[in-house]
Chains A and B, each alone.
Chain A
């Protein structure tokens, strides 16, 4: 990777020790967000604390509204976004689901609000640990949805997220997901960009003729009947398809401003060059996954790891082209889809579906792990590699899904 000379000399103002939530709050400050609506639920809550402090310290001039519930919280930012205010909200677990009606209409109204989802297991039983089902609930609703794995990436993806979401070719809400506790509350050294660099990358939010304003009389979200719905769905479909190109552009521009931060937009490959077996996963599981990969490489095993970042839009073509090079793919799901085909996880369905048109498909196997914040160790990941390697010759459906980390 050749580092390009950044356009601005000082792209970073300082380095600080920040949790994932604090890194997001710094990005919200740098994006000069106008309206923030908040309602507490952990692990999201820390971002709300951090933002209120940033506003109290006079570092950000924004409306900060504490709602009476997630439903109102999400409605507030939706409305703010429609009057051309850059808006931010977030939630976790069942709180995110409680506001689901508002989440659906934010997408159909094509309002580019950015939400942080601090992934948390859905109740019951009450638990605070990570599971991805909460964020994935919006996967079919016309949302942008991406996972990050470090506080630095979290900060950067708030900026990338706004840029993609607000692009007039896209105009979709963005859910930025990060593993609850493991990332939201883990403190790392983070480079904080300068306002100048952020301004260079992120243009002001401009809804154009879609802005709700007395000078621009329009009505958003009227009651319509069967005559209208299908055409509007077709628009959403098109926007989601266009988003892939806009995402690629955004990473190109991000690298131009901040130096070569990301070699590929949708996912990152690790040690895949001559690999015959790879694992693919979302979120913090990538860290033990890559270390397991490195250890197996030291023993001469031809393994690699694919860290998927963008889940919506799903990088169908890119991932298909990537995965077709391998003999076996193990899909790691930190989620569940009970009763779904082969009773496997959600990511597995997506990956298998993307691979289906290939004539020579790699063997595919599914691992469900880390639910409710259960540890996923390096040894667990080594076992996943063994399972994936075995699937090259043993593809009996009985062995298709393996639960790792459950007490049995």
Chain B
């Protein structure tokens, strides 16, 4: 019997958190007399900021370490898993860790009867608007929490590490048991009972939250998986053809790399108030991923498939309320915002303000207390300039 746990995390920011969870699953299982080992998907490295990455833990009750290693070790990725942990809920929109990989469903490796475990404050129905359907039934479990930066020592520890251990125990005691989790955490942190308590709380929470997702429930997956070339199809000498240069005004006017879009890196996206734009070009100039397409009227459209949510455009924009970063789960597609604006400026602006109202937050890395949704200055449609940008 082999139990496989996959931990999906945001590159760099959650690297230590992902590894700590994988390690502790093995140490706790080992303390229960089970065999385990843990590794990461090395090809994710060098991890770029925010890129979807994976860490794994494998546990068995009956196999020798060598047999477990033979089945699960020395591999790039796993074929299937019992539990897939998602440490940032925006990854449910798909994950594309590197070029030629394609945007894959977050539940790709969840086996029949397996569980997708998401740290989120969204409802499960909201999550299922984004997750791919499968031909068999699987389970969705959630526990309350935000995109955690707890693994980085400069940021506040929000106990996501402990909660995840508790949640894994809540879903499948054959991996680790909740009593063993509590014992381990109390032993490691004798003066901090809150850690074991957080694990127990998350354990209870997932046991209540877990639901079966029926075959066919979820969305039709629209992203194609690229087919890698065969050895005789490559150019000789480790050379690859570049993206052919092309430029024209308008949405998607510049040629871009079709085999590596990187849009799944983002957990926020810029929302633009075109009616406030002064055409200063700074967003277009500052964007490190060249996501901005110049249009015939001097405005700049955004190719969201390529946007990594880095926030540079919003920081560079000198106009208050013109570019604002908004929670990625507020959006169901990557369509052109400029086209929507041109079709109906008033309606687009109302839509943009609605998104900003629901999804603008101060990042938890600043407060350490979780996502804090905030409201900005409501600027009416049309020529009136907003106040000074702060």
Contact = CB atoms under 8 A, between A and B. Distances in A.
A408 interface: yes
Nearest to A293: B70
- For B23, B36, B70, the residue with the greatest tally of chain A CB atoms inside 10 Å of its CB is B70
A188 interface: yes
Interface string A362-405: 00000000000111111000000000000000000000000000
Nearest to B77: A375
Interface string B219-245: 000000000111110000010000000
Interface stretch (B6-14, B61-69, B126-134): B61-69
Interface string A267-295: 00000000000000000110111110010
B251 interface: no
Contact of A17 (B38, B45, B228, B231): B38
B43 A375 contact: no
Given A287-B69, A407-B229, A375 B42 contact: no
A318 B80 CA distance: 41
Interface stretch (A3-11, A83-91, A123-131, A342-350): A123-131
B74 interface: yes
B66 A290 contact: yes
A43 interface: yes
A180 B74 CA distance: 10
Contacts of A376: 74
A358 B76 CA distance: 40
Contacts of B45: 42, 128
A185 interface: yes
A189 B38 contact: no
Interface string B14-34: 000000001100110010000
Interface residues of A, number: 35
A375 B74 contact: yes
Contacts of B26: 17, 187, 189
A373 B38 contact: no
Nearest to B29: A189
Nearest to B71: A291
Interface residues of B, number: 29
Interface string A152-183: 00000000000000000000000000011111
A181 B232 CA distance: 28
A378 B231 contact: no
Given A17-B26, A17-B27, A189-B30, A128 B42 contact: yes
Given A188-B65, A287-B66, A43 B42 contact: yes
A186 interface: yes
Contacts of B66: 287, 290
Nearest to A289: B70
A408 B231 contact: yes
A282 B66 CA distance: 15
A318 B377 CA distance: 81
Contacts of A294: 67
B69 A125 contact: no
9 contacts: A185-B40, A186-B37, A186-B74, A189-B36, A287-B74, A290-B66, A294-B67, A378-B70, A408-B232
Interface of A: 17, 42-43, 124-125, 128-129, 150, 179-183, 185-189, 284-285, 287-291, 294, 373-378, 406-408
List of 6 A-B pairs having minimum Cβ-Cβ separation, nearest first: A291-B70, A181-B42, A287-B70, A182-B74, A284-B74, A186-B39
